Amino acid sequence: MDDRYSPDDLPELPELPELPEYSDEHIHAPFEIAPGDYAYPQHYAEHSAAPSIDAPSKPPDKAVNWIKEMIQLILIVVVVRIGMDTFIPRYIVDGASMQPNFHTSERVIVDRVSMLFGGPSRGDVVVLKSPAVVDELLIKRVIGLPGETISIQDGRVYIDGVLLKESYINEFCTYRSCNGVWELGPDQYFVLGDNRSHSLDSHSFGPVEGSAIIGIARVRYWPLDELAIFDKVDY
């Protein structure tokens, strides 16, 4: 028996239905590809972007912090020093004009703030600009106040005719040059050294203006065994 088939022996195939025609407007590309670009679906680009990661902040350098702290400390010291030199300056006593109460090389703190709200009181020890020598400072005791009449007889001081009892004086001036009468103006002071016979003071140059007084000595801080706070003198 012959197993070969002839074309006539093949069954007829059914006809396939015609496919509908599609125009270009029915085709939508999910994305466009530009030459040289990588192609990603649009939804992948919108929803699958890699999250951004912030770089960790660099810890502050210890050296930088130390420098900042040192600058702050220096500024504080400078400000405090300027404030002290302006309002409570320190001075070194030089000379014998205030013996026996002050001696050479002793150091005192002077109050300038009180000068802004008034002036010195009688008996206050003050630092002032010398009327006799330019750029020289003196330390003296205030004896006469503005508007008073000061007279000295045999070394003893009289205020408007009333004897001034000075317990801080060991030896009064006995020279004729120490005697005299002085009328003080509305802003003038009469200052004397405690060592009356060896002091360049109002005996010689007369009353001083209030503007010449720098401040009032409040504390002696050196030497330590002579540490003292100066109270108001009780006459």
CA distance 157 to 233: 16
CA distance 173 to 190: 16
Catalytic residue among 97, 130, 197, 202: 97
Phi, psi for residue 158 in degrees, rounded to 5: -120, 135
Read off the DSSP letter of residue 45: H
Contact status, residue 164 vs residue 148, Cβ threshold 8 Å = no
Catalytic residue among 121, 140, 165, 202: 140
Annotate 59-71 with b (16+ C-beta within 10 A) or e (fewer). eeeeeeeeeeeee
Q: Is 177 a known active-site residue?
A: no
Q: Is 165 a known active-site residue?
A: no
Q: Which residues are catalytic?
A: 97, 140
